[in-house]
Copies of this chain bind each other. A is one copy, B any other.
Amino acid sequence: MSTSALPSRESDFPGWYVEVVKRAELAEHGPARGSMIMRPHGYAIWELTQRALDDRFKATGHENVYFPLLIPMSLLAKEADHVEGFEPQVAVVTRGGGEELDEPLAIRPSSESIIWNTYRRWVQSYRDLPLLYNQWANVMRWELRPRLFLRTTEFLWQEGHTAHATSHEAMTEALRMLEVYREVAEEVLAIPVLPGRKSPGERFPGAVETFTIEGLMRDGKALQCGTSHFLGQNFGRAYDVTFLDADGQTEHAWGTSWGFSARMVGATIMAHGDDAGLRLPPAVAPIQVAVVPIYRSDEERQAVLGVAESLRADLAAAGVRVRLDDRDQHRPGYKFAEWELKGVPVRIEIGPRDVQAGRVIVASRLGGDRQEVALADIVSGMPDRLADIQSALFGDALAFRDANTHEIASFESFAEGLNERGGFWTGPWCANADCEAEISAKTKATIRLLPIEPREPGSACMHCGRPGVETATWARAY
């Protein structure tokens, strides 16, 4: 571990992010351009997030499936908007088994095409519906400006793909999964998010509506944290997925798709980190408690390590993810800094005098007093202690978000405010794509979301002065 200070989060956010990812051993660049290697500490955060999502998918009636990585180019091309959106980003396999392929194969940028092509065989009657499927997969979208976790050519995600007999049912599903995403973002990753609807220009290629949850990072930039798409009958028509309804009529199936990716590890870094490094929400902290023994002599070492190991075992038995840091080659101060850098929520220090007094020192990654706690109370008190840290991190991020969410008084004040401090800015918009594009060109901000139910602002568009049709929330974004 490097012992020099991190770049300041306040004055050099991008440099701070790069160094935190590197020094906390979360990830690094792979040999092929734009690729990423997820190291154990980074992967474990994703694994815990996966579990939280997967449990909720199953509780809402979904099953997991797995579709192939490679999609014939002709199949990808069947939904016109979809292929137009993705083709420029596709990686293409042209050789296999030592020979040129007859038809090039795309590495999936998303799996709507191959899945809907299969649903055609799986759906005949309304009794076959709904199909409520999800897959955990790697996908690939060629990126010119890669950034670890946030934008890499290959990334890990889940993609849900459902088919329904009615428009209403599909819309209900799209919104239900958005709510699952909101819950995981807020209750698991402790990142407050704004749920909303994308403007037509920001929709997923092939979707009728795209819903989103948007978080705010500590540099005032927004991050799209998950999207859920109402596909209407677009893919049902493009891939000819029809069914006989209860009245014997043939209809095209209605669809949704929804995705949540490992970029959320990056969001967790950027929503909570400070100048000492990561601050991880206990729900996704691979190590929730680090126990650091303090000793000089061999005799002290033996006494302290005995108690420390038994504390570790008790915490582990109680379901706490705990690490006893018994490395001899590092001094306690070095270890404190390392576990802070890695975002471990709780640190327990045990020295020879603590052992004698039957107590330990407990420090929270969120700061505040280091507390003396009786050894006997550590295990029973840990769930509350971790829950408190979880909600304090959420509260902290929420306060930051609230302090950086503004009503737009005028286009000028919006543009100026954005430059000064970023944040979310909400105001009246005429709902014209040209006006949206002009605002984006002038401010580098995009519409992050519209309210799920359209809401007329009751005043003129902040930019062009035409009648306000939508209430739009803008931000600069990752």
Please give the distance in Å from A157's CB to the nearest CB on chain B.
12
Interface 9-mer from A136-144, A340-348, A355-363, A423-431: A136-144
Which B residues touch A44, using CB under 8 A? 63-64
State which residues 123-140 of A face B: CB under 8 Å. Answer: 127, 133, 137-138, 140
Residue on B nearest A25 in the bound complex, by CB: B122
State which residues 62-113 of A face B: CB under 8 Å. Answer: 63-72, 75, 87-98, 104-105, 107
Q: Is the CB of B97 within 8 A of A88?
A: yes
Q: Is the CB of B68 within 8 A of A35?
A: yes
- CB < 8 Å neighbour of A31 from B117, B143, B156: B117
Q: Is the CB of A67 within 8 A of B30?
A: yes
Q: Is residue A52 contacting chain B, with contact meaning CB distance below 8 A?
A: no
Query: Could you tell me the distance between the alpha carbons of A98 and B91 in the complex, rounded to whole angstroms?
Result: 8
Q: Is the CB of B142 within 8 A of A96?
A: yes
Q: Is the CB of A63 within 8 A of B40?
A: yes
Q: Is the CB of A105 within 8 A of B32?
A: yes
Q: Is residue A43 contacting chain B, with contact meaning CB distance below 8 A?
A: yes
Residue-wise, chain A 34-60 has the 8 Å CB interface mask toward B (1 for contact) of: 011111100110010000000000000
Query: Could you tell me the distance between the alpha carbons of A127 and B37 in the complex, rounded to whole angstroms?
Result: 22
Given A127-B329, A154-B68, check contact A97 B30 (CB 8 Å). no
14 contacts between A and B (CB under 8 A): A30-B114, A31-B117, A32-B72, A37-B67, A44-B64, A68-B154, A88-B98, A89-B97, A90-B96, A91-B93, A93-B93, A93-B94, A97-B144, A127-B329
Q: Which residues of A are interface residues toward B (Cβ below 8 A)? A: 28, 30-32, 35-40, 43-44, 47, 63-72, 75, 87-98, 104-105, 107, 114, 117-118, 127, 133, 137-138, 140, 142-144, 153-154, 156, 329
Other than the known A37-B65, A69-B140, what 5 A-B pairs have Cβ atoms closer than 8 Å? A30-B68, A36-B68, A69-B107, A69-B138, A70-B153
